[in-house]
Amino acid sequence: MNQYITGTAIKELREQRKMTQLQLAEILGVSDKTVSKWETAKGYPDITLLEPIADAFGVSVPELISGHQIKNANVSANMIRSKFYVCPVCGNVIHSMGEAVIHCHGVGLLPAEAEQTDENHMIFIERIEDEYYVRIDHEMTKKHYISFIAAVSSDRCQMVKLYPEGEAEARFKISGVRKIYFYCNRDGLFAQERNRLMLRCRKSKSLQSL
């Protein structure tokens, strides 16, 4: 584990719940001086106390360790709020519909920030019956490749995992798709709204007919 609970996190969570150091100490069965040492970075809680501390604050142990509390105010989160977490060690891709505390290979992951497509990451789409055929104009070498393509609608996320030396393409059921994401192992996450994709597709077909 390359992360551990910090005194700052303990203090912030304690103050949010309007607890004194003494009140927290009594819950945990330690002295208020011990809590003070934790909060001033003069010591760390024993690992056996992580779960009791998390319970005292009403958070999970991963939240406690990361220092980021998950807020579930919007319990009706949908796929349009999709977030993608990519492990830099193994390339594992984790999808969530909202905020989450994600770890892989001991690394705390942050959600990838999606950028608009650019001239080095061009995306093309074509409708074939009830599917979208999506192609990314990008090399697929062992060192530089597209890791996955995903099509997101309000009620589902369709994802295709890609591999080096393969083709940067995928097919998705139309099913109300509103956004396409794809991930470059060097340059990160890209996204494009469906209406822009369709506009580009129609322009391409018009040029071909001239």
Q: CA 209, CA 164: separation in Å to the nearest integer?
A: 34
The set of residues, in sequence order, having a beta carbon less than 8 Å from that of 81 and lying 6+ positions away, is 97, 98
| pLDDT given at position 208 | 42
Query: Between these two residues, 130 and 3, which has the higher pLDDT value?
Result: 130
Distances (CA, A) of 84 to 87, 91, 109: 10, 12, 10
CATH number where 42 lies: 1.10.260.40
Q: Residue range 158-180: average pLDDT?
A: 93
The set of residues, in sequence order, having a beta carbon less than 8 Å from that of 179 and lying 6+ positions away, is 80, 82, 151, 152, 191, 192, 193, 194
Q: Which two tokens stand for residue 160?
A: 């295709």
Whether 204 is in a domain gets the answer yes
Whether 1 is in a domain gets the answer no
| pLDDT given at position 199 | 46
| Residue 140, phi then psi, degrees to nearest 5 | -130, 60
| pLDDT given at position 99 | 75
Residues 130 and 203 in one domain: yes
Q: Which two tokens stand for residue 63?
A: 């939240």
Look up the domain containing 62 and give its range: 7-66
Whether 185 is in a domain gets the answer yes
Residues 129 and 199 in one domain: yes
pLDDT band at residue 191 under the 50/70/90 scheme: very high
Query: Between these two residues, 64 and 83, which has the higher pLDDT value?
Result: 83
Q: pTM of the entire structure?
A: 0.62
CATH number where 194 lies: 2.60.40.730
Give me the sheet containing 188-193, strands edge to edge: 115-116, 188-193, 179-184, 146-152, 157-161
What's the structural domain count of the chain?
2
Q: CA 192, CA 175: separation in Å to the nearest integer?
A: 17
3-class SS letters over 88-121: CCCCCEEEECCCCCEEECCEEECCCCCEECCCCC
Whether 108 is in a domain gets the answer no
Whether 26 is in a domain gets the answer yes
Whether 143 is in a domain gets the answer yes
Whether 97 is in a domain gets the answer no
| Amino acid sitting at position 109 | L
Look at residue 209 and tell me whether its pLDDT is greater than 60.
no
The tens digit of pLDDT for each residue in 80-133 reads 788 999 998 888 999 998 777 888 887 888 899 999 888 899 999 988 989 999
Residues 124 and 194 in one domain: yes
| Amino acid sitting at position 106 | G
Whether 91 is in a domain gets the answer no
| Amino acid sitting at position 134 | V
| pLDDT given at position 2 | 46
- Please spell the DSSP secondary structure of 130-196, one letter per residue: TEEEEEEE----SSS-EEEEEEE-SS-EEEEE--TTS-SEEEEE-TT--EEEEEETTTEEEEEEHHH
